[in-house]
Amino acid sequence: MGTDETWVFDEEELRLYTPSRSDGISYEEELSTLNRHVEKMQEGAVLLRLIGFPAYVAIILFRRYFLVESLKGSDVEAIAAASLFVSGKVCEYLRACKDIIYCCRKVYTKDSADFPDGEEITEDNVHFFDEKIRLLTAERDVLRVLNFDLNVVLPHDKIKEMITELFGAGTTGRHVHQASINFLVESMGNETHITHSSTEIAAACIIIGSAYSHVDLSEASTYDKHASRIRKLYDAYSLDPKRVQRAVQMVGIEAQRLRIQKHYGIDISSGMSDADEKLK
């Protein structure tokens, strides 16, 4: 099984020591820029039908790139498109170069003065060759900067494994699993996936998913009547509770922005979720 520990950076490193910081770009500006492009990548992934695992991998590769390279002087749009291109190959959801160009340019130019519906660059377009060179150059840069380390450990599989460990194969486990996956997908756009390992992220999503599903993790686990589910989770995967709770907060903040506050009424605006309260 692969590991993603090489690409886990603490929050202080991200705030103070990335290449962009050396070029005078503030943490807030960098984060805002990357998040804006991640949103475009998610839109492009929908058009390309790279929803789910391939989109997740693309976003992780994109964020990792800018742990090594500065925003200054980078063609960020091209790197975003190239990350989708590379992810399609890694995940065996191959998409043609022409499709990446068409979908990404359409997303990036949508609502502009010249192209309110997005520019449509097809193979017969006068700009197609230039865009192809731009994409292929960016793909080469992604591979070079990441040193061909394209391994991305997916929290999705770890969530399934943990749910089985905690709940068995019953209805409760299925409900928590679905909720956990939903929160994982909604957190793809933030930096939790750079500051925490896939195992920590999986545990955080299960904690929030359990809170949403009204499942008390302080109760005994299915296979160990002498230990609570939350303790079983921490012990079985050698997790640091403080790091997991920080991941809960970060995943929760993103989920709040997208849907929790509006639809579910779970108030995590202060950075402390219902799930955290249960752990006290």
Domain ranges of the chain: 8-145, 155-279
Name the token pair of 136. Answer: 């292929």
Kindly state the average pLDDT of the residues 156-161. 92
Name the β-bridge partners of 228: 220
One fold for 8-145 and 155-279: yes
Options 3.40.50.880, 2.60.40.1180, 1.10.472.10, 2.40.128.20; CATH for 8-145 is 1.10.472.10
Whether pLDDT at 254 is above 90: no
The average confidence (pLDDT) of the chain is 87
pLDDT given at position 270:
38
Whether pLDDT at 218 is above 60: yes
By the 8 A CB rule, do 248 and 204 touch? yes
Q: Could you give the 3-state DSSP secondary structure of residue 220?
A: strand
pLDDT given at position 129:
97
CA dihedral 138, 142, 143, 147 (to 10 degrees): 150
216 Cβ neighbours under 8 A, 6+ residues apart? 210, 278
Whether pLDDT at 68 is above 60: yes
Instruction: Write down how long the chain is.
Output: 280
Report how far residue 179's alpha carbon sits from residue 68's, in angstroms, rounded to the nearest whole number.
34
The residue whose two tokens read 């170069």 is 97
> What's the pLDDT tens digit per position in 2-48?
456 789 998 888 899 999 999 999 999 998 999 899 999 999 999 99
133 Cβ neighbours under 8 A, 6+ residues apart? none
pLDDT given at position 4:
66
Query: Radius of gyration (Cα) for the chain, nearest Å?
Result: 20
% of the chain exceeding 90 in pLDDT:
65
pLDDT given at position 159:
95
Whether pLDDT at 75 is above 80: yes
Phi and psi at residue 67, to the nearest 5°? -80, -20
Fill in the DSSP letter of residue 6.
G
Kindly state the average pLDDT of the residues 72-94. 96
Kindly state the average pLDDT of the residues 200-225. 84
Report how far residue 152's alpha carbon sits from residue 126's, in angstroms, rounded to the nearest whole number.
37
pLDDT given at position 174:
93
9 Cβ neighbours under 8 A, 6+ residues apart? 67, 194, 195
Mean pLDDT lowest for which of 6-20, 32-46, 81-95, 211-225? Answer: 211-225
Whether pLDDT at 224 is above 70: no
User: Domain spanning 155-279: which CATH class is it, in words?
Assistant: mainly alpha
pLDDT given at position 222:
54
Report how far residue 238's alpha carbon sits from residue 190's, in angstroms, rounded to the nearest whole number.
24
